[in-house]
């Protein structure tokens, strides 16, 4: 089996938000929609206080609550663990937005652009078919993964088959790969480091792991 997950090393993340910008550029998301966000938090107690940057977004859960509440089966989960949305089935009811404990889903009711009422040339090229009145979220760049697999590439190892947020990270804090493969980079990182998952008590089984040597900041 294959189970794709993402790993963020919070000891390395510098909060530059390059991953956020790369995601927005690649997916053409409108203003106010950030599939890859970076939280700016304080961890610890005085005098041992740390500033920590936490990349977040859809956690691609083992037990996604968004899928449980979807009345049309628009939200689904692939065998490789990636949680998807079928825009043709989504009716925009937003039940999944309310069910997601990670605030990772968005719904846009009208087409919006960065600078006024008209799209820039770059926006026009990326959003030929605007996605409105349905729910959207991080896809783990599933289009890149599938295209890469078709060419025999390895997601998380070959850049062309790896999510753009991981590829753009200037500090090497973001990693992606198959956690079911003990030789993968993500498996080795998790075996060698202390880690946590966000809101793990919810029982969702997040597919996003955070490396951190101290008490979890959230």
Cβ atoms within 10 A of the Cβ of 16, count?
A: 15
Q: How many CB atoms within 10 Å of residue 204? A: 21
Cβ(123)–Cβ(114) below 8 Å = yes
C-alpha 186/C-alpha 177 separation (Å) is: 6
Cβ atoms of 67 and 147 closer than 8 Å: no
Nearest to 82 by CA among 162, 2, 173: 2
- The burial of 128, by beta-carbon neighbours within 10 Å (0-12 exposed, 13-18 middle, 19 or more buried), is given as exposed
CATH number for region 4-211: 3.30.70.20
Q: What gap in Å lies between CA 126 and CA 25, rounded to an integer?
A: 8
What is d(CA 84, CA 95) in angstroms, rounded to the nearest whole number?
Answer: 15
68 phi, psi to nearest 5 deg: -65, -35
Q: In this predicted structure, what is the pLDDT of residue 131?
A: 79
Q: Is 37 helix (H, G, I), strand (E, B) or coil?
A: strand
Q: What is the predicted pLDDT for the residue at 121? A: 78
pLDDT at 110 (0 to 100)? 80
pLDDT (0 to 100) of residue 4: 98
DSSP state of 29: P
Which percentage of the chain shows pLDDT scores above 90? 77
Structure tokens at 65: 């609550």
Question: For the whole model, what pTM was predicted?
Answer: 0.92
Tens digit of pLDDT at every position of the chain (218 positions):
899 999 999 999 999 999 999 998 888 888 889 999 999 999 888 888 889 999 999 999 999 999 999 999 999 999 999 999 999 999 999 999 999 999 999 998 888 777 878 887 777 766 656 678 999 999 999 999 999 999 999 999 999 999 999 999 999 999 999 999 999 999 999 999 999 999 999 999 999 999 998 777 76
For 35-71, how does the pLDDT look when each residue is reduced to its tens digit (9 = 90+)? 999 999 998 888 888 899 999 999 999 999 999 999 9
In this predicted structure, what is the pLDDT of residue 78? 98
pLDDT, residue 136, reads: 96
């Amino acid at each position: 089996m294959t189970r794709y997950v993402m790993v963020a090393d919070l000891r390395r993340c510098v909060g530059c938000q390059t991953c956020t910008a790369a995601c927005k550029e690649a997916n053409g998301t409108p203003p106010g929609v950030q599939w890859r966000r970076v939280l700016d938090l304080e961890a610890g107690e005085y005098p041992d206080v740390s500033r920590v940057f936490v990349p977040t977004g859809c956690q691609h859960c083992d037990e996604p609550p968004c899928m449980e509440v979807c009345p049309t089966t628009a939200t689904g989960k692939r065998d490789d663990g990636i949680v998807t949305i079928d825009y043709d089935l989504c009716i925009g009811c937003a039940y999944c937005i309310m069910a997601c404990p990670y605030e990772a889903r968005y719904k846009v009711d009208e087409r919006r652009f960065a600078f006024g009422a008209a799209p820039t040339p770059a926006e026009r090229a990326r959003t030929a078919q605007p996605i409105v009145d349905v729910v959207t979220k991080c896809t783990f760049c599933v289009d890149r993964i599938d295209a890469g697999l078709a060419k025999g590439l390895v997601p998380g190892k070959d850049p062309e088959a790896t999510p753009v947020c991981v590829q753009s990270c200037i500090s090497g804090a973001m990693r992606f790969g198959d956690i079911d493969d003990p030789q993968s980079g993500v498996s080795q990182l998790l075996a060698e480091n202390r880690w946590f998952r966000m809101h793990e008590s919810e029982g969702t089984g997040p597919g996003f792991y955070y490396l951190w040597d101290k008490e979890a900041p959230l």
